Each structure stands twice: as C-alpha cells, then as structure tokens.
Amino acid sequence: MTSSFAPPVRVLAVEFGVRPMTLRLPFKFGAVTLTRCPQVFVRATVDCGTHGAAEGWAAELMVPRWFDKREDFSQANNVQHLQQALEAAADAYRTGAPLPAFALFARHYEALMTHGASLGLTALSAAFGQAVLDRAVLDALCRAMQIPVHAAFRRNLIGIGDTSLVDDLRGWDWDGWLAKLAPSPYLHARHTVGMLDALEGDSTDAAGLPTSLPAVVRRYGHRFFKIKLGGHPEADIARLDAVLTTLDTVAPGHQFTLDGNEQYTDSHALRALCDGLRSLPRLAARPDALLYLEQPVPRDASMDSSLAALDAPAPLLLDEADGTLDAFATGRQHGWRGVSSKACKGLYKAVINRARCDHWNLSGGGSDSRCFMSAEDLTCQAGLAVQQDLALASLLGLSHCERNGHHYVDGFGDAPSTEEADFASAHSDLYETTAGRPRLSIRDGRLAIASLARPGFAHCADPDFDSLQPLSQAPALV
C-alpha cells in the first residue's frame, strides 16, 4: 500500500560545488589516517507540479578509503569515482517524465548501479550519486510543500511502496508503518574513539577543544562510544582494555560499540578477537555494555556462511558491505543482525532496511535473532550534512548516533563565517558559540534537534554556494 497523494517531481537543474575540509586532529579508521577531505554540496532545482519549483540542498564528505579500499586505487581515484557517480545521477535525474520522489530513485537505481560497475566503481561508490541527490530532491519537495521532512515521510508524500527492487517487502503496509514513525527532539551522541586518540590526561588544543578521551567526556558528557579496531586481535584487545579503563573512570555505566572497518581479513584472527572479548575482565563484568560489532570482515567476505557460526559476543552489524538494496536481506541469512543507517549510503536504503527490521521481528523468532539498525557517521560536517543525517536517524527512531565530525574538525571547518553564523542562528539548539565560532552543541551527551523539524530537509539556512570550488577540483583536495 502506498499513498496516492505523492506529488510528481521533475529535476530541472543540478549544480555541484566542493569545499576542502581540514581536520584539526588526524582520524585513523582501519588502515587509513584522514587529515584532509573534500565536501561536496548539491543544489537542485526541482519542479514539484502544482506546488511550484524550489531549490533543494544536500552535502556529504567524499571520504577516500571508505567507499573503496582497494589498494590499486589512490585516494584521488576514490574521490574521482564519487565525482563520476554524482555526475551520472545528475544526468539521469534530469531525464524522463515526472515521478514521485521515491519512484524517481527506483527508476534509475539499477541503471546507475550497472553504469558504476562498468566504470569499475564499488557498489558504495556507485550508489553515492543517488544518495546525495535524493536528499536534495526531497529537500526541494518539502520546501515547495512547506512541510518538514518527517511529515513528508509520515504522510508518504515521497510515494514509497511496492517495487521489484525490494521483493522481500512486497505487500508491506508502507502508509501504516510510515505514519507511526515518531521523531525525537533529542539524540544521544555516540563518540568515536579513533586509533590515534589519547586515552589519558585532560588535554585541549589552542581553541580549548578537547583532544584526549577524558577531556571529551568532561566537555560533552557522552554515555555512548564507538571504539575503532585495527585488525590485530592482541593489539585490539589491549587497546580496548585501556579505553575501557578510562571510560569506567570518567563515564561509569557507559555503553559502546566496536568497529572493525573490514580489517579482520583472517577468520582465525576474528575468532581470536571474539575469544579475547569474552575473556576481557572489564567486559565480562558488564557484558551488556557491548552493543554490537560493526563490519569486522571485508565487504567481499561478508556473505561467507562461516560467519553464522562465529559465536561472536555481540551481534554483527553490516556497514561497508551494505552496498546494494538487497545486501541486508542477504546478510541476515549469513549471521548479520544489524545494519547501519548512513546518509551517504542512501536515505531510501535506510528507510527500507528499517522497515525490514520491523517486518522480520514481527515475523517471530527469539531475542537472539532480532534485527536492528544503528546510526553511524562518516565524519558528517557541521551544517547541512550533519543536520540531514540527524533528521534521518531521528525519523527512524534511533536513540543514539555516532558523531565524530564535530570532534575531528573545528566547527564548520573552512566554511565562510557568514555561512556558519547563518546556520548557528537558524539552529541555535544544535550549535553553541561560547568559545567563539559556532560548534556542535552536545550537553549531557545529547544533541537537541527540534529546530530541524521545520519546512525542508532539516535546514533553515543555506550554504554559500559562491564560496565553493568546481566538482572537478575534488580529487585534488585529498
């Protein structure tokens, strides 16, 4: 069942621009240390039929070595692939008859994924173009109709429904399910502990921002954490013990997740990690503190049947292997119980996977087989990117989300002062300016996001498009 009131949309124009983002702290995830990265911005002009035309926006980091970790491609190659995906999606979306927003995505999905594969792109890279452009289209629709994004979903004005792309949900009552979504005005921020982060001391940088884990907790009051792993069980267990030693002191009663970032390429090493986790005294004392283990194995090995027999001490969550619309449905058959929501992987994929969790859980099975969704970051930047990602996580009923962009980048980074001031003024609950320039506001470990529930997709201020560089410059910004 789908809404019959979803207005058709037609994309008239798409503009891209990029901005260099320089990290104040190096961020190591897996085998990569990130210090610099381009952020892409999309401005789309969309004809929304009787509601008129409107401009819609989206933004996302073009992170090298996450969408594609193959060693025979450089970081510039990785960014170029994302550029190609964006350009292909824009070309496709400007063609064809008007359709509801979800039908526009569905019409082009398979062709764009096939096109990306023909260029040698990974599934995540090929999907990136639609993942960003769909948000801009939806923003334009919500602005034209003068409604917030959660209202568009709850009334199914995007037109999501039965499609051959998602056969396993055929017959699902989309209108009824979407109508029950209840976004929260708050989300807990789950702080990422990178592999280079200092675990002791109360250190800050010249701007007074925290650089050590204890200083982070004292400033923001986090209760949830995400701890990066490196792929070597002994070293990972030793570092985890050190992290937990600190957290037990500065954040007693905390909960945490572990992120393998595809680094466990050897099944024996993964089993050794699981054995080490079970025998770690600090975890044995509070086994429920570990919520899940995120993507420990490479994406290409994620559908190995041996994973179902791993006997991990926490459920496995699919992240980098979630490259296609059917990945989570396939992964569930191989031992994966969770999947991440990331705006960079696609908002419609996230909504579909969230519906799958409810559908499968309603179908029966014990608590050991329940499926779930998490909200993960990928260093979403202050302003448009973090706001749309927070709105999506809230819409899907998630109570905490990984947030690391605000920690590794100083506020709005290289954005013009007028742009950051506009966003801080329009969303004063989400940003604070007590230390000079606007920065994400986290109090008692929580983000206040009520201001995102206004007409459009989670923003009442627009980026400064004239300050951006051409998309063709993106590969040179890493």
Read off the pLDDT of residues 363-396 as tens digits, 9 standing for 90 and up: 876 667 899 999 998 889 999 999 999 999 999 9
- The yes-or-no verdict on residue 137 having pLDDT over 80 is yes
Q: Are 38 and 19 in contact (CB under 8 A)?
A: yes
- Mean pLDDT, rounded, for 41-69: 97
- Mean pLDDT, rounded, for 194-222: 93
- Give the pLDDT confidence score for residue 1 in this predicted structure: 43
- The yes-or-no verdict on residue 255 having pLDDT over 60 is yes
Residue 216 neighbours by CB distance under 10 Å: 25
Read off the pLDDT of residues 63-96 as tens digits, 9 standing for 90 and up: 999 999 999 999 999 999 999 999 999 999 999 9
- Give the pLDDT confidence score for residue 367 in this predicted structure: 66
Q: Are 8 and 50 in contact (CB under 8 A)?
A: no
- The yes-or-no verdict on residue 403 having pLDDT over 60 is yes
Choose which CATH entry (2.20.25.570, 1.20.1290.10, 3.90.1150.10, 3.20.20.120) describes domain 179-457.
3.20.20.120
- The yes-or-no verdict on residue 406 having pLDDT over 50 is yes
Largest CA distance in the chain: 63
Over the Cα atoms of the chain, what is R_g?
21
- Give the pLDDT confidence score for residue 31 in this predicted structure: 74
Q: Are 257 and 374 in contact (CB under 8 A)?
A: yes
Report pTM.
0.96
CATH superfamily, domain 10-146+466-477, is: Enolase-like, N-terminal domain (3.30.390.10)
- Give the pLDDT confidence score for residue 3 in this predicted structure: 55
Residues of the chain above pLDDT 70, percent: 99
Read off the pLDDT of residues 143-177 as tens digits, 9 standing for 90 and up: 999 999 999 999 999 999 999 999 999 999 999 99
Using alpha carbons only, give the angle 220, 226, 229 rounded to the nearest 5 degrees.
140
Question: For residues 315 and 335, what is the distance between their CA atoms, to the nearest angstrom?
Answer: 8
Number of Cα atoms under 13 Å in the Cβ half of residue 396: 31
- Give the pLDDT confidence score for residue 302 in this predicted structure: 96
- The yes-or-no verdict on residue 332 having pLDDT over 50 is yes
- Mean pLDDT, rounded, for 320-349: 97
Domain borders along the chain are 10-146+466-477, 179-457
- Give the pLDDT confidence score for residue 4 in this predicted structure: 61
Q: Are 121 and 85 in contact (CB under 8 A)?
A: yes
- Mean pLDDT, rounded, for 350-360: 97
Read off the pLDDT of residues 439-468 as tens digits, 9 standing for 90 and up: 999 999 999 999 999 999 999 999 999 999
Read off the pLDDT of residues 186-204 as tens digits, 9 standing for 90 and up: 999 999 999 999 999 999 9
